[in-house]
Amino acid sequence: MKDQTRTPLFSGLLDHIRKHPTQFHIPGHKQGKAVEPSFRDFLGENAFKMDLINIEPLDDLHHPNGIIKEAQDLAAEAFGADYTFFSVQGTSGAIMTMVMSVCNPGDKILVPRNVHKSVTSAIIFSGAVPVFIHPELDPVLGISHGITPRAVRHALEAHPDAKAVLVINPTYFGIAADLESIVEIAHLHDIPVLVDEAHGVHIHFHNDLPLSAMQAGADIAATSVHKLGGSLTQSSVLNLKGERISHERVQTVLSMLTTTSTSYILLASLDTARKQLAISGKSRIDQAIKLANKARKAINELQFIYCTGEEVIGSEAAYHFDPTKLIISIKDLGITGYDAEVWLRNNFNIEVELSDLYNILCIITPGDSTETIEKLLIALGQLEETMRPLSSKKDVQVTIPEIPRLALAPRDAFYAETEVIPFNTAAGRISAESIMVYPPGIPIFIPGEIITNENIEYIWKNVEAGLPVQGLQDETLQTIRVIKEYRAFN
Ligand SMILES: Cc1ncc(COP(=O)(O)O)c(C=O)c1O
């Protein structure tokens, strides 16, 4: 057992700073001296003193063998991994690394349709061919959950040559699949399981939460420490276990995708967040669960607003859930989740994590307190009072369109000769672009897929509901880039 109270990277930086070296290296602001004063005053001088670069005493994320290696080794033990790699390119960078570490051009990879855009990017970069699995849809909440072991088994029977399975666990909404069974099925085919654990750094540290990727036996997991684990935005880890994926390969690919000017402030925040999670994570998460459950109970005393609880569990895709996520269903109030988000901003200065047609999502963490929960409860009470005249029992229409047919590998489509045509006339053409509703970034189609009228209508419906539809080069959605078609007589 290692001493998890140690922070070799953070402490190493402090030791270095205390020596007051005269710096003739970048960054040129030289401990903040050359920084614009209002910015320097706001952040404080320590931030600039720690804004260092990979000089020899401070190790190098690209070839770690000093304080970064020690910090990564401690993290590996804390996360139950054989190797942990720090990422300063968020979980997006870690996801691209894991996909590109296992997929060569032309390799098939099983992925849920509701993947983050970094998975689509990784598929384009690697030249892999996605085999999409429909996530299970929740008819009460109108959201998609994860994929089921059964769907993975069927997909592997149909595609026995697949090289990997990627799972999102837990989902943005905190719903976890039966990951252990998915891992078992994939390992029977001797292929690795890659986990997008962007929303699950904390689950490893509390027994009442779903199993983490490493606990479930997955081979590799990209985990956002910055989202729910207390490190700074952009800092994530990539955890690796077992023999199916080479750690040298992962290090090489991660390095290919990473800036050579890695931020030591981000790296130190990973080191200290790991210490906090390992030492006091359980009690801090306990407190967050209690606060969230208190909020859930009070919200469910309202007449038209409902907050999801344990009853969501019951299917293979909703096998477990994370109670620190408050999925607050607004649909019976007669407004959209997006309307509620804007109302809370304008009337209570509250910012939620995300909204969709039917829900808002609020995350509760050890950073919350009785006061923040009270404020949310008062605001939701007033929201209900204000909107009560509009209220009506509304049936959820789960409107995720069928997965379009893939006509070309996404990379081939991305690099193909293309033309721009009016968006509303694009049905039947092969898209060269991705388009998604964000958050949470579910692709409606990706490069290589055949556009259908259903896709186009789905997009306009989301636009009308005020949801951000992103991805097309033409942000007005008037035109789209498609694969050029040559006809015999023009
Ligand atoms: C499911 C999922 N995966 C991956 C990511 C990417 O994480 P990051 O923002 O750390 O790059 C996100 C970000 O929101 C996400 O929701």
Mean pLDDT of 400-408: 84
Compute the average pLDDT of residues 199-215: 98
What SS3 class is residue 144? Answer: strand
Is the shortest distance between the CB of 224 and ligand 1 below 6 Å?
yes
Instruction: Return d(Cα 470, Cα 113) in angstroms, integer.
Output: 17
Residue 168 alpha carbon, nearest atom of ligand 1: 1
Range with lowest mean pLDDT among 130-134, 391-395, 423-427: 391-395
Q: How confident is the model at residue 390 (pLDDT cuts 50, 70, 90)?
A: confident
Check residue 207 and report its DSSP letter. T
Q: Are the beta carbons of 482 and 419 closer than 8 angstroms? A: yes
Q: Is the pLDDT of residue 392 over 80?
A: no
Report the nearest-CA residue for atom 1 of ligand 1.
Answer: 116
356 pLDDT more than 70: yes
For residue 171, the ligand 1 atom closest to its alpha carbon is 1
pTM: 0.94
Does residue 468 register a pLDDT over 50? yes
Q: Could you tell me if the CB of 325 is within 6 A of ligand 1?
A: no
* Arithmetic mean of pLDDT, 434-439: 72
Report the C-alpha gap between 156 and 133 in whole angstroms. Answer: 11
CA 449 – CA 423 distance, rounded (Å): 15
pLDDT at position 117 is: 86
Residue 439, pLDDT > 90, answer no
Give the per-residue SS3 of 262-317. CCHHHHHHHHHHHHHHHHHHHHHHHHHHHHHHHHHHHHCCCCCCEECCHHHCCCCC
Q: Write the Ramachandran bin of 69: left for phi over 0, alpha for psi from -120 to 50, otherwise beta.
A: alpha
Average pLDDT estimate for 39-61: 97
Which residues, 6+ apart, have CB-to-CB distance to 35 below 8 Å?
Answer: 29, 48
| Rounded distance between C-alpha atoms, residue 161 and residue 47, angstroms | 50
* Residue 395: per-residue pLDDT: 67
Residue 441 binned pLDDT confidence (cut-offs 50, 70, 90): low
Task: Using the CB atoms, write b or e for 453-472: b if 16+ within 10 Å.
Answer: eebbebbeebeebebebebb
Say how many residues make up the chain.
Answer: 490
Q: Pocket of ligand 1, candidates 91, 114, 167, 361: which has the most ligand atoms within 8 Å of its Cβ, to mutate?
A: 91
Give the single-character DSSP code of 418: E
What is the mean pLDDT of the segment spanning 221-230? 98
pLDDT averaged over the chain?
94
- Confirm or reject: Cβ of 92 under 6 Å from ligand 1: yes
Q: Which of 168 and 392 is assigned the larger pLDDT?
A: 168
196 lines ligand 1 (CB under 6 A): yes
- The token duo for 179 is 């990951």
Q: In this structure, what DSSP letter does residue 448 have?
A: T
Higher pLDDT, 434 or 262: 262
Residues 6+ apart with CB under 8 A from 181: 149, 316
d(CA 29, CA 31): 6
pLDDT of residue 17: 98
Read off the amino acid at residue 18. R
Lowest-confidence pick of 409-423, 428-442, 464-478: 428-442
